[in-house]
Amino acid sequence: MLNHVPFDAALLSVVGTPEHTRLLDSSPRSRVWRVRLADGRLVVVKQVTADGDVSADADTRFAREVAGLRLAGRASGPAVAPMVLATDPSSRVMVLEHLDDLGKTDDWMPGYAESLARLHALTGPADAGALPAWSGPDATDAESFLALAAALDVPVHPAVPGELAGLLERLDPSGHHALLHGDPCPGNDLRTTDGVRFVDFERASLGNGLIELAYFRIGFPTCWCAMSVTAAPLTEVEDIYRSTWRGLTGTDVPGDLADACAGWLIQGDALVERAHRGTVDQLARVPSEDFAWGHVSARERLVHRLGVVAEMTRDHDHLHAVGRLGSALADRLLERWPKLRPLPTPDARPWY
């Protein structure tokens, strides 16, 4: 029964007795309820499910989310995630603090950027092994990107393969221990009276925070609601992120934002929702099929990412040839399919 909250005796003794439950929208990989307890308190109950998955993988996702939330719970001052109130690993159930979302605001990005930096700064080298290391593009992704150029009859400069190999080396997460959310998309950020808090940590990892700061430029690559941030708003949010990180850590954000954006560009799996990742070569589908995710198509996402990387690497020491290839690929896509639309702007962000 979907409205039945899976509380065992231990959870009942720790949390209390559910009096009223409401099933909320969630991914197919979980069930989420808003629960009013007998004492009047509201909590959120999330159960990670094994639907379409093997049980061991669901157990791993549950453990990963709980670990990410507990690390996020270290935040001093305003919180950046809901508190974990109780867990039942045997049923993959977690009971979380209920958050009152204030809802729509047109000026949502500054608070998002500040909370993202505060989240990333919570962990360091001593936390190695607490979560998996971030998993980025690999040699197969680089080969698929080069194959896309061949399929679209775009010449590849001899320097490109070497630049891509160097990119993969620089994106190695070794030595980076920022607490990455894994999917910091609109809908996974809630605006509260104390600031933005993130939810849904199933893909939490440790790595370089620039991987998620890059979302603003590269169009929110793991999100169904892709969007384009440019000009003064982009400068503002990146400045807020960097100054917040510097204030908390005493250091500048390490790494190169152009590398992070190029890493998202060459990952075909970042063109599709999570359920379809790792199934086929998504970049290989682009020349013959324009598949949609949300309100934006794969070719529209790709044109945006190509343009971003081309612009960022005009004078780049290590990605100049990749950037020129990106520009040529964007031109070819627009030449063949001139009705491709630019990504929506942040003021068109969907509100739930």
pLDDT, residue 55, reads 63
Domains of the chain listed by start with CATH number:
9-97 (3.30.200.20), 109-348 (3.90.1200)
pLDDT, residue 276, reads 84
Instruction: Please tell me the distance from the alpha carbon of residue 133 to that of residue 56, in angstroms, as a whole number.
Output: 19
Query: Most confidently modeled of 50-64, 107-121, 267-281?
Result: 107-121
Burial class for 100, CB neighbours closer than 10 Å (0-12, 13-18, 19+): exposed
Q: Indicate if the pLDDT at residue 1 is higher than 50.
A: no
Query: What is the average per-residue pLDDT within 224-244?
Result: 95
Q: Indicate if the pLDDT at residue 352 is higher than 70.
A: no
Instruction: Please tell me the distance from the alpha carbon of residue 240 to that of residue 243, in angstroms, as a whole number.
Output: 5
Q: Indicate if the pLDDT at residue 351 is higher than 60.
A: no
Q: Is residue 348 very low, low, confident or very high in pLDDT (cuts 50, 70, 90)? A: low
Helix, strand or coil, per DSSP, at residue 290 = coil
Is residue 143 a contact partner of residue 324, using CB atoms and an 8 Å limit? Answer: no
Segment 200-229, tens digit of pLDDT: 999 999 999 999 999 999 999 999 889 999
pLDDT, residue 166, reads 98
Q: Is 195 left (phi over 0), alpha (psi -120 to 50) or beta?
A: left
